[in-house]
Amino acid sequence: MVIGLCKLCREQRGLIDSHLLPKSAYKQLRGRIAGRQSPVILNPLTGTAFSSDAQVTQFLLCKECEDLFSKKGERQLGKLWSTERGFALRDSLHKLKPIASKRHVTAYNANEIADLDSLFYFAISVFWRAEVWGWEGRSNGGALGAKYSEMFRSFLLQKGEITDAYLIVSVNSNSRYDYIMSFPTARKEYGGVLHMFLVPGLRFELLIGKAIHRTLAEVFKMQGRVLINMFEFEKTPMFAQWSIFANCGADIKGKLKIQTAEIRAGREVVK
């Protein structure tokens, strides 16, 4: 067993080989591209994509803290996201009356069908993990900054609250691109810093800032700190570029350079 300082509780303890993105998500991705067993993972930080069973792990947390992450966030998420057998959150949203619809995006008040606190906790746990992760030369740490990093840590330990952070969970309305995952990135957007990652069928975006655009601030004031919307991922510019994977899925060998403006922008970690 590896003994070290747990990054969350900061106690000297036996450490677990923690995942940056949930281990169960890798399982969902296996075999979902025709003719290919291993999942495709996008790493906007390095501008690469890789098809591999290798999972990004690090000795980061003690068992108690890892269990806390699982109990407070990941377990609930595992009941909602896209799997080979179905996509519970999408199915539930289809039964709800939308609260707003603009162009191709539909917004829902999802309080009655999903535990939004768990989704928020899960998102915070991933963004915080990316912040404290040792990136071996590649830097994602620093995107949150010291103040939010400490605020998030305290929240994850259930000792404090988070202010000025708003979560947008987007649900893919078309299963074609459900099988993609991506590591957290950050960029300036909507008057704050927008942090983003993908797990099967879901995109998590966390907008952090004291002076986010007024319209968005008003929406969050009415709806609470978590918004759920649904649209076809395929129709966003980012996914149009990533469709390379759908078209040549079986041909991906090793590392593949992704050359899109969106991803390059995503690599620029801003403070």
Contact residues: Zn ion, CB under 5 A? 6, 8-9, 62, 65
CB atoms within 10 A of CB 234: 15
For Zn ion, give the closer residue by CB, 9 or 216.
9
For Zn ion, give the closer residue by CB, 6 or 207.
6
- For the bound state, the minimum distance from the C-beta of residue 11 to Zn ion, rounded and expressed in Å, comes to 6
- For the bound state, the minimum distance from the C-beta of residue 153 to Zn ion, rounded and expressed in Å, comes to 11
Q: Which two tokens stand for residue 88?
A: 């519970």
- For the bound state, the minimum distance from the C-beta of residue 63 to Zn ion, rounded and expressed in Å, comes to 8
- For the bound state, the minimum distance from the C-beta of residue 150 to Zn ion, rounded and expressed in Å, comes to 15
For Zn ion, give the closer residue by CB, 125 or 170.
125
CB 105 within 8 A of CB 232: no
- For the bound state, the minimum distance from the C-beta of residue 129 to Zn ion, rounded and expressed in Å, comes to 13
Q: Which two tokens stand for residue 262?
A: 């969106």
For Zn ion, give the closer residue by CB, 1 or 222.
1
CB atoms within 10 A of CB 87: 22
- Phi then psi dihedrals of residue 236, to 5 deg: -85, 150
- For the bound state, the minimum distance from the C-beta of residue 10 to Zn ion, rounded and expressed in Å, comes to 7
For Zn ion, give the closer residue by CB, 69 or 183.
69
For Zn ion, give the closer residue by CB, 97 or 159.
159
Q: Which two tokens stand for residue 162?
A: 């988070």
Burial track 15-51 (b if 16+ CB lie within 10 A, e otherwise): bbebbbbbebbbebbeebbeebebbbbbbbbbbebbb
For Zn ion, give the closer residue by CB, 18 or 182.
18
- For the bound state, the minimum distance from the C-beta of residue 141 to Zn ion, rounded and expressed in Å, comes to 18
CB 22 within 8 A of CB 77: yes
CB atoms within 10 A of CB 76: 18
Q: Which own/partner pairs from 186-195 qualify as long-range (CB within 8 Å, at least 24 positions apart)?
A: 186/140, 186/143, 186/144, 186/266, 186/269, 186/270, 187/265, 187/266, 187/268, 187/270, 188/270, 190/216, 191/216, 192/164, 193/143, 193/270, 193/271, 195/127, 195/143, 195/144
- For the bound state, the minimum distance from the C-beta of residue 122 to Zn ion, rounded and expressed in Å, comes to 18
For Zn ion, give the closer residue by CB, 65 or 252.
65
